[in-house]
Amino acid sequence: MTSHDHPTPTDSDVCYRHPDRTSGVTCQRCDRTICPSCMNQASVGVHCPECAKGNKQKVYNARTLPGAQGTVTKGLVGVNVAIWVLTIAALGATINSAGPVGADYGTWGPAIDVDNEWWRIISGGFLHSGLFHIGFNMYLLWQLGQQLERILGEARFGLVYLVSLLGGTFGALLLDPEVPVVGASGAVFGLIGLTVFAYRSRGIGLFDTGLGFLILINAFYSLRGGVSLGGHLGGFVVGALLGIMWFGLNPGDGPLFGRDLRKPWIVSAVLGVLLIVGSIWAAGTWTDPLF
């Protein structure tokens, strides 16, 4: 029987700080070989102690990732509830009706067109006409918002929520400019549109979860009287467009602009501006509605 000598480790096979330890792992930044004792976990790969000190790169986990705590979602729910309570306490609304709040502060074509109250384009999306109205919208915002905020991060989620709200405003003014409209439904329907493509990008069908049933219920609800069909439809269409941009049209496509995160920000912001301009134009059709 013959014996075989073990090959002597080269300098590239041993830890640069502990020459008695072999390793096949290298620092992501400087390519020095490091042993398990010298590994510092980074957002991508591992770093040696020197690079970890110099880079000061923050390491995230499931709890500290941007959006993991649902901060923006919780804030939006809190603001909507606080405003609803304020309208009841001081502005003449009741637990079952918006009262004069809709005419005074809601999305309403004549006030935007004649009185130049352009702020109504956004303010109407934070008002509600009763307990069921705000309860339903806040439930959906809570359920969908936390999922999307975890995927998109806080800043991007805040942006898509605002643009979806503007989409709902544009749709409401386009179809019914002479009717005061209140509610976060346009923004919430935008989140539904976003979630459709977030799921689709991961190969999850609408009816593999409760989302498909949720869409059917909301579609039926949108057709009943006293509900802004334009607001719901406008929010959903804009949310779907944002979903295609951020997640891709088909499973496996990936985001529309790939890894470039600047373009989606720019396009989303431009879309928001266009929706504001479109809403002002649509408000001016109240004397001769298009539909």
Which residues are identified as catalytic?
A: 185, 232
From 212, 182, 192, 193, select the one nearest 143 (Cα to Cα). Answer: 192
Locate tokens 């013959």: which residue? 2
The helix (run of H) or strand (run of E) holding residue 273 is helix 262-283
Q: What DSSP element (H or E) covers 40?
A: strand 40-41
Angstrom distance (rounded) from CA 230 to CA 186: 9
Secondary-structure percent of the chain, ordered helix, strand, coil, rounded to 5? 60, 5, 40
Other beta carbons within 10 angstroms of residue 224's beta carbon come to: 8
Select from 176, 95, 165 the least CA-distant residue to 126. Answer: 165
250's tokens: 């088909």
CB–CB of 73/141 below 8 Å? yes
Report the chain's terminal Cα–Cα distance, integer Å. Answer: 95
What CA–CA distance (Å, rounded) separates 23 from 14? 6
**Residue whose C-alpha is closest to residue 191's, from 163, 221, 230:** 163
- Opening angle at CA 80, ends 76 and 84, nearest 5: 170
Sign of the alpha-carbon torsion through 259, 70, 184, 192: positive
3-state secondary structure of 34: coil
